[in-house]
Structure 1
Amino acid sequence: MDEGALLQKPRWRDRMSTTLEVVRANPTGRVALKIAVGLAGLLVVAVGALLIPLPGPGWLIVLGGLGIWAIEFSWARRLLTFTRRYLRLWTRWVTRQSWAVRIAIGLVGMIFVSAVVWASVLLSFDVNLVTEILDRL
């Protein structure tokens, strides 16, 4: 495969862009598209936000919803660009660190997630996971 083919946008993106241009050409279609994209993005962001305290891809789902909003809203496009840039910078910084620093970052992350899960369960179900676990030991 030559280098020029690798740098081209996939054909499905061209079809999607053409379809969106056709929809946006009609004032009613433009409003309907904004509403549909807004609601779809809101649904995905809301599900992601609910999953953030739980182990799993909560933030990834929120970013997916932001990507949906970025189809139609310039503020979401700018926020997504900002987020991607700083996520790449963070990832590059972490990969340059020693194993000890990476392990410390991982442990801090696990402690933070554990604290969020503990607080979520305590506030939602009035169950203290620490005392429950200690009682069972």
Structure 2
Amino acid sequence: MSTEELDQRPGLKARIAAFRERIEERPTARKTWRIAIGTLGTLVLIAGIIAIPYPGPGWAIVFVGLAILGSEFEWAKRLLRYAKGKYDAWTDWLKRQHWAVQLLVLAATGLIVLATLWLLNAFSLVAGWVGLEEWTWLQSPFFG
């Protein structure tokens, strides 16, 4: 649901405001709420940071984690604005680059993904499925 659709639902903003007021009135509830939001936001943020170099929504997950944290912590709101600005600047810069630079960035991203798959022993697992167990170079140094 978009923000506009949420705003048009009768009483939703009022219910959210009332919920927040009830939390603010009780110090224990306030502290518990902040701990819960802090924990959830941090977990989402860590998952996003791990996912950044891989194809998919890594940066989106980071921004969601910061937005969750930003609902309770001013430093996270500032960091979210800063991170969005840097992300936009990076993508704008990359779009202006020669295709060779863009290809180099794509290749570096691909190498990170391949290295991670190798370290997690994914190649050895798949090799076992197709009968290539003798290709020991596919084994991860951690799971060999």
| Partners of 1:120 and 1:79 in 2: CA distance | 31
> Residue 73 in 1 paired to residue 82 in 2?
no
Displacement of 1:118 after TM fit?
2.1
Query: Structure 1 runs of 4+ off > 3 angstroms?
Result: 45-60
Question: Gaps (5+ residues) in structure 2?
Answer: 126-134, 140-144
Flag the 1:94–1:19 CA change in 2: closer, same or farther, 3 A: farther
Alpha-carbon contact 1:24-1:33 (below 8 Å) kept: no
The answer (yes or no) to whether the contact 2:44–2:61 under 8 Å persists in 1 is yes
Please name the residue that 1:32 is paired with: 32
Q: TM-score scaled to structure 2, two decimals?
A: 0.61
Given that residues 51 and 57 in structure 1 are in contact (C-alpha distance below 8 angstroms), is that contact kept between their aligned partners in structure 2?
yes
SS in 2 for 1:72: coil
Give the Cα–Cα distance (whole angstroms) in 1 for the partners of residues 136 and 49 of structure 2.
Answer: 25
Match of 2:72, SS state, is coil
More helix by proportion, 1 or 2?
1
- 1:30-68 CA deviation, whole Å, 9 max, x = no partner? 212202211222332344456567654345324322221
Q: Deviations over 1:7-50 (max 9, x none)?
A: x8x627x8186246413244333212202211222332344456
CA RMSD of aligned residues (A): 3.6
Say which is worse superposed, 44-53 or 93-102, in terms of deviation.
Answer: 44-53
What residue in structure 2 maps to residue 64 of structure 1?
Answer: 64
Residues 45, 64 of structure 1: 8 Å contact kept:
yes
TM-score by length of 1: 0.63
Aligned residue pairs: how many?
120
Q: Percent identity?
A: 34
Gaps of 5+ in 1: 1-7
CA distance in 1, matches of 2:51, 2:89: 25
Whether the 8 Å contact between 1:53 and 1:120 is mirrored in structure 2 is: no
- CA gap 1:50/1:100 in 2 versus in 1, 3 angstroms: closer
1:131 alignment partner, one of 124, 133, 137: 137
1:104 & 1:54 partners in 2: Cα distance? 15
Change (3 A) 1:105 1:48: closer
Letter in 2 for 1:36: A
